[in-house]
Chain A
Amino acid sequence: MKANGANVGIVIVSHSPLIARGTADMIRQMVGDSVPLSWCGGNAEGGLGTSARDILAAIGAAWSEAGVAVFVDLGGAETNSEMAIEMLEPSRARRVAICNAPVVEGAVIAAAEASGGATLSKVVATAEELSP
């Protein structure tokens, strides 16, 4: 664990709330409550989609002084996540990274890394090793 006791947080963003929640369930099974974790997915009408508003709230919910790693599925999830990060205070925005990694495998391996107290850059690098 880090000196301040705060591990890197994980945010899951999927167009499907079922995928986002299911991925979060898999993470909880592995690392329990040792990692701040939040997820979002779906649009205002209960359909598929992503929203900058929900992503902003999810980053806030998983906030850690050590930073937050965000996992996204498809295009709009990434674009909306970038937008949400720009809406944060600059001091916070610098500590949020979108990972170029598959959402399920990436988030689970990142959470395992984070639970050991790894830095944000180490968490991101470990997840991104999954991408060719």
Chain B
Amino acid sequence: MEAGQSFLPGLIAACSAVIALNADRLCLLDQEIGDGDHGTNMRRGCEAVFEEREMLAGLPLPQALERVGMTLVMSVGGASGPLYGTLLVELGRGLAGEEPGARQDFSSALSRAVDAVARRGRSGAGEKTLLDVLYPVQAEVRMQSTLDSIATEAQAAAERTVAMKAGRGRASFLGDRSIGHMDPGACSCALLTDAICRYLGELEGA
């Protein structure tokens, strides 16, 4: 996979913009069932990645993704830093292929990266976390769905977390009272998926 010099900076700008636009909403969702800082944490992480966008553009895509992941780990704070960081680090490693000949296609690299997030969070499907968006997105990618379908499913998956009872994270302390609120991590994950799909769609259409 070869990335044009402007591909990654554009993608990073699109992701940063959607997080900046929705940071207050993400904090409000987090205030309902968590500690209220998901929006500010994600914005801080996106700003750190945005600062590095030109340097990242000079790297092969797998290494760039790995670097983005490490930057998120070091800047986001909260549990979402290691979770999003692990996703990108493992995605980069999967695309690079740690062993000669082990280079994977995007779908299997994404699948492995999502599994790594689950291990990092010691969580799985149905626990009202970003995994409840990542698993459905991964399934759509595996089925080679259209970008529109992937984005639509991501949003629908985030909506489904409203009815879930939290099994991990600060929200799990609330027990049944966590039901009725969208998980902020699932929300940011759907927003980012939508922004990425839109960006890729604009490139396809260009």
Contacts and interface: CB of A to CB of B under 8 A. Distances in A.
B20 to A, nearest CB: 16
Contacts of A51: 74-75, 77, 81
Interface residues of B, number: 21
Interface string B65-92: 0000000011101110111011000000
B12 to A, nearest CB: 20
Interface stretch (A19-27, A29-37, A71-79): A71-79
Given A43-B41, A45-B40, A48-B37, A79 B77 contact: no
Contacts of B170: 74-75
A60 to B, nearest CB: 14
Contacts, number: 60
A48 B75 CA distance: 14
B77 A50 contact: yes
Interface in A51-108: 51-53, 74-76, 79-80, 82-83
Contacts of A3: none
A74 B85 CA distance: 19
A95 to B, nearest CB: 21
Identify whether the interface residues of B are mostly helix, strand, loop, or mixed.
helix
B186 to A, nearest CB: 16
Interface residues of A, number: 18
Interface centre among B77, B81, B83 (most CB of A within 10 A): B77
Contacts of A45: 40, 44
A95 B78 CA distance: 24
B121 interface: yes
A44 B86 CA distance: 21
Interface string B188-202: 000000000000000
Given A43-B37, A50-B78, 4 more contacts: A43-B41, A43-B78, A52-B77, A75-B170
14 contacts: A15-B35, A43-B44, A43-B78, A47-B40, A49-B78, A52-B77, A74-B170, A76-B78, A79-B120, A79-B121, A80-B78, A80-B82, A83-B82, A83-B86
- Give the 9 A-B CB pairs with smallest separation, nearest first: A76-B79, A83-B82, A51-B77, A49-B77, A79-B82, A76-B78, A53-B74, A79-B79, A43-B77
